[in-house]
Amino acid sequence: MYTGLAYSGSRRRHRSRELRRIRLGAVLVIEGWLLAFLLIQVLRIREISLSAICKEWIGGQVARAQMQDAEMGLLREKIIFQEKVLFGEGIAFRERSLLQEGGVPSIYETLFAAHRIPVIALDAGHGGTDTGCSAEGIEEKQINLQIANLVSEKLTQMGYQVFMIREEDGYFGLADRAKLANFRRADAYISIHQNYYEEDSAVSGMETWFYGADTDRDSRRLAQLIHKETIESTGAAARELRDDANFYVTEKTAMPSCLIETGFLSNPQERELLATPEYQEKIANGIAEGIRLYFQPKTMYLTFDDGPSAENTSRVLDILNEHGIKATFFLVGENVEKNPEVARRIVEEGHSVGIHCYHHDYEELYQSVDSYLEDFEKAYQAVYAATGVEAKLFRFPGGSVNDYNKDVYEDVIEAMTEQGFIYHDWNASLEDAFGKAEPEELIANVKESTLGRQRVVLLGHDIVYNTGMCLEGLLDALPEYRMEPLTEETEPIRFR
């Protein structure tokens, strides 16, 4: 009986709760209808259609989703198309492999995180009633527009967004040109012009200008690349790269900008060339390639062996710090013991540190596997004592394969790899280890040995005086490269 009574009471309580829920639900429904009725009356008073609002909102969401899908689809198509155009099927695969191994990213990998493709503003100088310079019926404004159209086609094929300041023979004021580039939030602005020199018709060649007083916009590097690539593509005489451009459009644009004068209409031979589609094509190739390298730089790892030196390494560090560049230093243990404060500075300023050796004596070092490992351990401890770094990177004195270690290098590599150490060789060099080459010669050595490679590990020696003296010029001569330090994740460059 107790159980039954308990069940009966429970059932009554349950029915009571159900009635309360029903009444509460009814109240909520009535309140909901009242609110809806009031809202409809308000909307009617304001002559706004509720269905129109709903449709507009839903339509907006659908349109936004469709736009995003279309943009992503277009982006994917452009990535594939760019790789095929620039590299071909086989090389495109190689480029993707390099990316996985720490190689240089495409413009899409570089900017994909920001969900935007670089926007390039191309400005064909003059136009309309402003013909620019002219000679023998050839007007600058027409040459400028023809070249700009060709550059636009090439950049579009590469996957960039391009807009032309003028697409036809119309007049635009200087202020309007700069305002339009700024309004469109362009990532780079390039103004295309021709030159003229009344006093000497033999003067020829290309000049590129940028506004050097503004160092925040990186206009110098853009101008360097366009200047360099266009001269190489045309074979034209290389005139000055000018940082004193007092031009409205290079000063008032908010993005990296430059102005290139691709030739002299006052020179009969050059004027004839400038009017031909073939030569204009070469100019356009150079300008487009310069822009591509600006957004899609190659990668160079600056590496320095044999230091630290109190004077010379400090000079190298000063220059790297001034340019905001990180490098890699393969240290010699006995030099670390002599200059521990310089070794600490290398680490404190964010550079990578590796082991070179303790004592730079090839015959002693490579007598046997044990002799190498003993020397390495001594160097390792010296670096650790001075810097606190447990270095994992190392470089063989003379490289991983040389005349001194040919009998032991394979066993040394196996032993070092088993202990988790990673060795790096190089594929370009300053050639500064021997002799007394002048800074200009050292820079020339680098230009010759890089061979246009996408990834370069550059060998230098920070204990050499002229290495520090050439470093400023070297960095300026390689605008197509971004400088990075080696890390444990970097795919090594090796002789074998």
Structural domain total, the chain: 2
| Residue 478 domain boundaries | 298-484
Within-domain flag for 79: no
Determine if the pTM surpasses 0.85.
no
Among 256, 277, 295, where does a domain finish? 295
Within-domain flag for 240: yes
Say if residue 253 is in the same domain as residue 325: no
Say if residue 338 is in the same domain as residue 476: yes
Say if residue 319 is in the same domain as residue 433: yes
Neighbours of 172 (CB within 10 A): 18
**Helix and strand totals (H; E) in the chain:** 17, 16
Say if residue 346 is in the same domain as residue 413: yes
Within-domain flag for 45: no
Neighbours of 235 (CB within 10 A): 9
Q: What is the CATH number of the domain that holds 151?
A: 3.40.630.40
Within-domain flag for 56: no
Distance CA 313, CA 323 (A): 16
Residue 187 contacts residue 172 (beta carbons within 8 Å)? no
Q: What is the CATH number of the domain that holds 480?
A: 3.20.20.370
Within-domain flag for 65: no
Say if residue 161 is in the same domain as residue 251: yes
Say if residue 195 is in the same domain as residue 335: no
Per-residue confidence of the chain (496 residues) as pLDDT tens digits? 323 333 334 444 444 555 555 555 555 556 566 666 655 555 454 444 444 444 444 455 445 545 555 544 544 444 444 444 443 433 333 333 333 334 444 444 444 434 579 999 999 999 999 999 999 999 999 999 999 999 999 999 999 999 999 999 999 999 999 999 999 999 999 999 999 999 999 999 999 999 999 989 999 999 999 999 999 999 999 999 999 988 999 999 999 999 999 999 999 999 999 999 999 999 999 999 999 999 999 999 999 999 999 999 999 999 999 999 999 999 999 999 999 999 999 999 999 999 999 999 999 999 999 999 999 999 999 999 999 999 999 999 999 999 999 999 999 999 999 999 999 999 999 999 987 899 999 999 999 999 999 999 999 999 999 999 999 999 999 999 999 999 999 999 999 8
Within-domain flag for 72: no
pLDDT in tens, 365-392: 999 999 999 999 999 999 999 999 999 9
- In single-letter form, the type of residue at position 398 comes to G
Within-domain flag for 275: yes
Among 235, 261, 295, where does a domain finish? 295
Residue 159 contacts residue 108 (beta carbons within 8 Å)? yes
State the number of CA atoms in the 13 A half-sphere of 454 facing the CB.
16
Say if residue 254 is in the same domain as residue 348: no
DSSP type of residue 464:
S
Say if residue 219 is in the same domain as residue 319: no
* Residues ≥6 apart with Cβ < 8 Å to 455: 98, 102, 103, 104, 298, 299, 300, 301, 493
Cβ burial 131-152 (10 Å sphere, 16+ → b, else e) = ebbbbeeebbbbbbbbbbbbbb
Say if residue 274 is in the same domain as residue 317: no
Among 247, 264, 295, where does a domain finish? 295
pLDDT in tens, 16-75: 555 555 555 555 556 566 666 655 555 454 444 444 444 444 455 445 545 555 544 544
pLDDT at 246: 85
Residue 191: exposure state from Cβ atoms within 10 A (0-12, 13-18, ≥19): buried
Say if residue 280 is in the same domain as residue 332: no
Distance CA 301, CA 459 (A): 9
Say if residue 385 is in the same domain as residue 282: no
Say if residue 220 is in the same domain as residue 259: yes
Nearest C-alpha neighbor of 203 from the set 279, 286, 265, 125: 265
Mean pLDDT of the chain, nearest integer: 85
Within-domain flag for 60: no
